[in-house]
Amino acid sequence: MQDVSSDEPARDNATPIRAWGVGGPLSPAQRKEAKVLFLAELQRVHAVSLACEYAGIDRSTVYRWKDKDQKFADAWQNCVERSHDIARASIYQRGILGWEEPMVSMGQVVYEQVPKLDEQGNQIYERGRPAFKQGDKVMVRKWSDSLALAYAKANLPEFKDKPQLNVNAQLADLAEQAKAELLADLEASLSREDGN
């Protein structure tokens, strides 16, 4: 009986025991295509299970390929590093550069009020008041303080977490040491008095 968990083609180069995507061995062409599909999806979603599902292969298969095929393992690592770079860029974008979104007041998007002008460029008045028309949305820039801090801690030495000194523990140790010395001195004094 043939091992259906193997990704090697059948000995007689016949059709795989199970259709691709259901399980069973893959032909060299199918294996090559499955690797390409897996890596493309891994780069896109950075989730092994989803990339396997997309490529129609089992997780154990890709991990076996990763162990046995250094070129595949290197491509996998490149996908992971690219995902990390995208995450870093997103953190930088939202934390440092920020983003714009429409201003909202009382549940409504705020628009610029642009004066209505006649053909000569003079302000138009309606009912004795200057007339305005709706202009562009008013945009406000926002930042994520927590992402900015995370970026700073990861990249700027002055923001890195520094080891905290436990002053209370140090004081307690000094107090214990002083107490022990005081008791030893007291005991020595009492011994001298008893000896006289």
Count Cβ atoms within 10 A of the Cβ of residue 44 and give its class: 0-12 exposed, 13-18 middle, 19 or more buried: middle
Q: How far apart are CA 46 and CA 65, in angstroms?
A: 17
Under 8 Å between Cβ of 7 and 20: no
Q: Largest alpha-carbon pair distance within the chain?
A: 119
At 143-180, the pLDDT tens digits run: 999 999 988 888 888 888 776 667 777 788 888 888 88
Contacts of 161 (CB under 8 A, 6+ apart): 153
At 104-147, the pLDDT tens digits run: 999 999 999 999 999 999 999 999 999 999 999 999 999 999 99
Contacts of 55 (CB under 8 A, 6+ apart): 34, 35, 37, 38, 41
